[in-house]
Amino acid sequence: MDDVIGSIGHAITLAKRLREISKNIEDAEFKNLLADLNLELADTKLALADVMEKNAQLRTELATIKHSQGGISIEPLTFREFAYFTEGNDGPFCSKCYETANQRIRLKKVTGAFSTFGHTQCPSCEQFYDGKI
């Protein structure tokens, strides 16, 4: 992006020099073209400033999203026994939530009387699973 800004700045400088030189030239067509070139460069500079502002805005939004998710995880999940796990053995994640809503919901251990329904339960859909963590 800095290269583009530098190029436009250089083009504007060249156009200014041409304008200075054109004072000694009486060709109307040359002066009209030079005026058009100056307008185009000014428009380009404004458009670039707009793009840079939007780019900065999008970078801020992306950083916010990444931060809110603790970094975007792209590690694939594999189904083993009763639930999904990452290759690094992170999990278990609820198979129902992952397969129906593509959500990675970590299963919690079930203790006490509810353990007759299963060893783990999804805190989101409340599905019980009969597998040990």
Residues that bind Zn ion (CB under 5 A): 94, 96-97, 105, 122, 124-125
CB closer to Zn ion out of 66 and 80: 80
What is the layout of strands, in order, in the sheet containing 120-121? 108-109, 120-121, 128-129
Nearest distance from C-beta of residue 7 to Zn ion, angstroms: 54
CB closer to Zn ion out of 45 and 106: 106
CB closer to Zn ion out of 77 and 97: 97
Cα distances from 22 to residues 17, 25, 29, 81, in angstroms, run 8, 5, 11, 81
C-alpha dihedral (84, 87, 89, 92), degrees to nearest 10:
-10
Nearest distance from C-beta of residue 124 to Zn ion, angstroms: 5
Nearest distance from C-beta of residue 1 to Zn ion, angstroms: 44
CB closer to Zn ion out of 39 and 125: 125
Nearest distance from C-beta of residue 76 to Zn ion, angstroms: 19
Nearest by Cα to 110 from 125, 101, 123, 98: 123
Neighbours of 19 (CB within 10 A): 14
